[in-house]
Amino acid sequence: MTRKANSTRNRRFITFAWITALALLTIFLIYRELTAVLYILATLGVTALLIVVALADLSRHEKFPTELPRADDAAALGSGLGSSNRTGRR
């Protein structure tokens, strides 16, 4: 358990170190008025994020329910129409 806690703490420290370093770099570039470099870094960051999302395997953890959800009749109730789940009673 201690090894796992140390691993989590170490990973969290590395994450905060990256965030701090990138924030300081951004502040430095703004201070030096190097907007061209900021534009390039922002473009590369967004491109990297899009690649990570595109390569993520999101369907592996997706589970579909066996029963479909029932229709929502909120619009029918508000407009005075009858329910779509009526059984033919009058």
Lowest mean pLDDT among 6-10, 19-23, 57-61: 57-61
Supply the pLDDT for residue 4.
Answer: 77
Q: Is residue 43's pLDDT more than 90?
A: yes
Q: Is residue 78 very low, low, confident or very high in pLDDT (cuts 50, 70, 90)?
A: low
Distances (CA, A) of 43 to 29, 78, 84: 15, 47, 49
Average pLDDT, the chain: 81
Give a three-class secondary structure readout of 19-41: HHHHHHHHHHHHHCCCHHHHHHH
Supply the pLDDT for residue 81.
Answer: 62
Mean pLDDT of 21-40: 95
Q: Please calculate the CA angle 73-64-53 and round it to the nearest 5 degrees.
A: 105
